[in-house]
Amino acid sequence: MAESCLSEIPTDLVRSVLCETIEKKLKSKKYKMTVSSASKAGESNFIGIVYRVTFNKEGENSSEKLILKVAPQNAARREQFNSHELFLQEIQAYNVILPFFRKFEQSKGLVVEKDGFYENPACYRTIDEEPSECLLLEDLSVRNFSIIDRYTEEITADHVFLVMKALAKLHAISFALKDQQPEKFHELASSLKEMFIRDNDIFIRKFFNKQFQGVFQVLNKEEDANLLAKVKNLFETKDVLDVARDCLDLQATGSGAVISHGDTWQNNTMFRYDNNGKPIEVNLLDWQICRYSSPIIDIVYFMSCCTTKELRDTHYDDFLNVYHSSLSAHVRRLGSNLDKYFPYATMLEHFRKFAKFGLILSTVLLPMITTDRGNGLDLDELAEKFKDQPANNEDIDAFQAFISESSQNKFNKRLRDVVVDMDRLGYI
């Protein structure tokens, strides 16, 4: 093994665990390894640093791969992005929650890879010690999964249907567990913290309010006067973060709360395609923001941030119908009845109460989704910039840097379209 490859990897502990994992998989201490970047920080991911590790026994040509996701080492970035807690949350998901979900489905006689929720990569090892937090994960590219190139491709209805079905199975396990093993479900759900909408974080509060100003800027035409009035009315007595927090309120959610993915935008999905280019399978990545909330939070996050208005105009009702029918079918498969917790009418009521969460998140994600290739952020530099700023600093519009002169019109249209649809559907 070339020691120079390990120079890319932070901390002795991560290097040691990586080598142990490879040696265990190969059943040999004699191997070759290469390390390369698998995801560009500040453009494709923001919390971790992601490497692709390729390795093979000495003397053999066939190689294996895995993904190494490690926490940043820059102290300011770790603090600003709450790195330690986010990695602990993802480790909890991979080591505790998802394995229990899998065992529960198997206890019902399901072959998970065929009938259950299998749409997440395998996890081989984790480290939860600071500053070496990391996960060693399956490299899905080996099974021909790939991320949609958001610079050149649009999400299609086939992509969305796959996401809806995967989320339905994931959420269904919560409903069945809540019915059959309520104490265990409560134990799992209560282990999760809200990692994104942190209402006691002044920086986050300022950030969300600053990002939301983009809505007022795109509603600048005479024909938008009614939309503008509705948006202003929505935030007349509460600021943006408080409204987002209300959408996650468990008391308002009632019996419909589930353990959800929490970060369902397109960079956290990978798809496998058939020979005709049709997506036929999806995997959900990045479980750092998984939360206990209404299931529709996952849906409106994805729909608002990742689909075009044209797609929603044509298929929105179809997407909801496929989601709910898949949810109901999987709950029945697991031995419970969805009508007890989340009938279709309750789902629609959740959309009316909580779908505005998608509008709020779109002000954060759409600058990134619509930006030009290569127009990312240096996250270490960004964190250093803000670490000594006072809590009431107003200069926190860093994500606006994603919006370039050439991407401005696309961003404006996508964000305005979200507001239009929120109004059309009765969500604002």
Cβ-based neighbours of 214, under 8 Å, separated by 6 or more:
363, 367, 400, 411, 415
Give how far the C-alpha of residue 158 lies from the chain's centroid of Cα atoms, to the nearest Å: 19
CATH topology of domain 83-120+149-424: Aminoglycoside 3'-phosphotransferase; Chain: A, domain 2 (3.90.1200)
Residue-level pLDDT, tens digit, the chain, 428 residues: 555 578 889 999 999 999 999 999 999 999 999 999 987 665 566 788 999 999 999 989 899 999 999 999 999 889 888 999 999 999 999 999 999 999 999 999 999 989 999 999 999 999 999 999 999 999 999 999 999 998 889 999 999 999 999 999 999 999 999 999 999 999 999 999 999 999 888 888 988 999 999 999 999 888 999 999 999 999 888 999 999 999 999 999 999 999 999 999 999 999 999 999 999 999 999 999 999 999 999 999 999 999 999 999 999 999 999 999 999 999 999 999 999 999 999 999 999 999 999 999 999 999 999 988 876 666 667 666 666 665 555 555 555 667 778 889 999 999 999 999 999 999 99
Q: pLDDT at position 378, please?
A: 64
d(CA 327, CA 173): 9
The reported pTM is 0.95
The dihedral built from the CA positions of residue 309, 310, 313 and 315, taken in this order, carries a sign that is: negative
Residue type, 373: R
Domain spans of the chain, in order of start: 83-120+149-424
Q: pLDDT at position 406, please?
A: 81
90 SS3 class: helix
Q: pLDDT at position 393, please?
A: 53
The two tokens of residue 228 are: 């503008």
Q: Which residues pair with 126 in a beta bridge?
A: 135
